[in-house]
Amino acid sequence: MPKTIATAKVVGQKVLNSTIKILEVYAPEIANQALPGQFVNVQVCKNTAPLLRRPFGVAGVNKEAGTFTIIYRIIGEATHILADVCSGDELSIVGPLGKGFDMTAEKPLLVGGGLGLAPLKFLAEGFGAGKTDILMGGRTKEEVCWTCIYDELSDKVFVTTDDGSDGTKGTVMALLPELLASGVYDCVYVCGPVPMMKAVANACLEANVKCQVSLEKYMACGLGACLSCACGGIGKRLKVCTDGPVFWAEEVVEW
Amino acid sequence: MVKALYEGRLAVDIAGLKMQTPVTTGSGTFGFGLEFRDFLDLEKVGAVTVKGTSLLPAAGNKGQRAIETPSGMLNCIGLENPGSEYFLEHTLPELRKYDVPVIVNIYGHSPEEYGEVAKKLDVDGVDAVEINISCPNVKEGGIVFGTCPEAAAEVVRAVKANTSKMVITKLSPNVTDIVTMAKAVEEAGTDAISMINTLLGTVIDIDRQKPVLGNITGGLSGPAVRPVAVRLVYQVAQAVNVPIIGMGGIMNARDAIEFMLAGASAVSVGTVNFIQPDIAETIAHGMLEYLDKHNVQSINDIVGLALPNGRASMPYLNK
């Protein structure tokens, strides 16, 4: 499956909450190929600052329309520039990159937090409406505003917040052991902050449930060349960009 | 080669290494070349310079390894690589399917080890070795050999004694006088010089109040370093009798030509590969446009034109 440098045309942007936006672009060469878990590398402007492309997980595709979406938080220089692009603007996007999720689960449980909920959205769509359950965690109600997306996509939606402003008070670990013990799920897919992913991976190991983690590491190229995003595997080095970003939890020794 | 690319107008000969274009790839920025096959035709790259290769596999540095800086980036990968054995067994055969010269960047922890790697790689399919005496991100070797003229010369001699290949020595800019370094490696027998490696830098996370990079310091690359690199090439070109492969922040044909006017006989694209993975091929088109605009037939004819006495300033061109 060849990677391409696409000149993507911006279809439009939507606001998810005060800091998170959803960007839809037209780039059929990527939209037609992208699989859940894969990412794209976006050049936000043609200047030398910001210099590097920025990686974003694909959050969904519309093959008929030739479009795909990414969901991002406006946090730094590059995402501020991205937040200002308008319908009709062009962006150079390299993709699709990396290896995606294993799609063989019978009853998948998705677990996510923060922007990790973006690639999981595409995964939920990949399995089909109502096929997945999702457990999402955030610090506050605003951080779990993704329920508006997952209510339509997933079957059961479980929510935890650190401050108890929505769902169960605590982290996803407040609910996960019970969900795993139910024996309903044959595979857990987690994408979020590293402490969350480690805790979920450990809980799955204990419960003997398969678990895939989607890692995020600072990367320059996304192509397996720069080795910025290397991590430790069993007896070998792994590249998050090309060996991952999705790994079986037990493959990752040094996160 | 069946037919000369671009009617031979971009062909260069670097101490016997024949390249169809003057463009090679900065070690560590182009993987082993194979990672870029989806984006470009490897046979339209002047030469592929692969990631720094050591005798044994190396895991590289821990912690964050890269961070963007104004018009550039810092990296402290620490020369992670699968080792010479793996390279010879798995990578080289794959790379050899393409008709493109292969330059292997090598490093070791002692002159003897450099010699050993060179010997191991003295095989068919490797066209040249580039001695990395200038990586700022490994504690032993690397920069030690890159900052001391005698140590650098010792490494070059060790490599030359163990290989039949053309030898390039890559210089560090993190020295007081780069001309002294250049002359030392020339004296020791290097066939060519590549320059520059990265400049040392540090970025601090002001909220965590700690350096961002696991290694604290990293090597600065990208367009931010280009004027420094051009200045150093300009100096060295007037002092040595060997060809120079110029690099440091080249983003496009304009930048590549700047290096050649400063005395580089070939160039290398580095950080830009991360942003435009087809650049090592496509940059040739801009070079041809430049030649047409200035009514010059061959790219070789522009080398050194910006020096004080033009090409007469370059000992290498007036041997």
Domain extent listing, chain B? 5-318
Q: Is B313 helix (H, G, I), strand (E, B) or coil?
A: helix
pLDDT digits (tens, 9 = 90+) for A137-175: 999 999 999 999 999 999 999 999 999 999 999 999 999
3-state secondary structure A220-252: CCCCCCCCCCEEEECCCEEECCCCCEEEEHHHE
What digits encode the pLDDT tens for the residues A193-202? Answer: 999 999 999 9
How is residue B171 annotated by DSSP? P
Say whether the ipTM exceeds 0.90. Answer: yes
Q: Is A21 on the interface with B (CB under 8 A)?
A: no
pLDDT at B135: 66
Contact B89, B120 (CB under 8 A): no
The amino acid present at B218, given as its one-letter code, is: G
- For residue A10, the cross-strand partners are A25
pLDDT of residue A254: 87
Q: Give residue B3's pLDDT.
A: 65
Query: How many CB atoms are closer than 10 A to CB A81?
Result: 15
Q: Which residue among A4, A49, A226 places its CB closest to the CB of B274?
A: A226
Q: Which of B47, B55, B131, B135 is catalytic?
A: B135
Nearest to A51 among B60, B71, B80 (CB): B71
Q: State the pLDDT at residue B313.
A: 98
Percent of chain B beyond pLDDT 90?
93
pTM surpassing 0.90?
yes
pLDDT at A46 over 70: yes
| Per-residue pLDDT at A119 exceeds 70 | yes
The domain at A108-254 falls in which architecture?
A: 3-Layer(aba) Sandwich (3.40)
Q: Does A242 touch chain B (CB under 8 A)?
A: yes
Which residues, given as ranges, of chain B have pLDDT below 50? 1
Residues of chain A contacting residue B212, judged by C-beta atoms under 8 Å apart? none
Do the chains contact at B60 and A230, CB–CB below 8 Å?
A: yes
- The pLDDT assigned to B281 comes to 97
Looking at beta carbons, which residues of chain B come within 8 Å of A219?
66
> Cβ B222–A43 below 8 Å, yes or no?
no
Contact present, A186 and A105 (Cβ < 8 Å): yes
Q: Is 3.40.630.30 the CATH classification of the domain at A4-97?
A: no
Which residues neighbour B21 within 8 Å (Cβ) at sequence distance 6 or greater? B5, B6, B10, B11, B12, B44, B45, B46, B284, B287
| B76 a catalytic residue | no
For B273, name the nearest residue in chain A, comparing CA atoms only: A221
What pLDDT is stored for residue B44 in this prediction? 97
Of the pLDDT bands very low, low, confident and very high (cuts 50, 70, 90), residue A115 is very high
Please report where in the chains the tokens 């993704």 appear, as a residue: A146
pLDDT for residue A70 is more than 90? yes
All structural domains of chain A with their residue ranges: 4-97, 108-254
Count of residues for chain A?
255
Which of B68, B254, B278 is best to mutate for the A interface (most A CBs within 10 A)? B68
Q: Do A52 and B277 touch (CB under 8 A)?
A: no
The overall longest dimension of chain B from CA atoms, in Å, is 58
Q: Is A76 on the interface with B (CB under 8 A)?
A: no
Measuring CA to CA, which residue among B74, B82, B194, B208 is closest to residue B146? B194
Q: What's the pLDDT band for A235 if we cut at 50, 70, 90?
A: confident
With an 8 Å Cβ cutoff, is A224 touching chain B?
A: yes
Three-class DSSP category at B220:
strand
User: In the prediction, which pLDDT does A90 show?
Assistant: 98
Q: How far apart are CA A241 and CA A225, in angstroms?
A: 9
- What secondary structure, in 3-state letters, does B93-148 show? HHHCCCCCCEEEEECCCCHHHHHHHHHHCCCCCCCEEEEECCCCCCCCCCHHHHHC
CA distances from A254 to A111, A207, A238, B57, B60 (A): 21, 22, 10, 17, 13
The separation between CA B22 and the C-alpha centre of its own chain, rounded to angstroms, equals 12
Residues of A in contact with B274 (CB under 8 A): 52-53, 220-223, 225-226
Q: How many interchain CB pairs under 8 A, A with B? A: 91
Q: Which of A100-109, A220-229, B142-151, B270-279 has the lowest mean pLDDT?
A: B142-151
Distance, in Å, from the CA atom of B125 to the CA atom of B97, rounded to the nearest integer, reads 10
CATH 3.20.20.70 for the B5-318 domain, yes or no = yes
Confidence of residue A5 (pLDDT cuts 50, 70, 90): very high
pLDDT of residue B4: 85
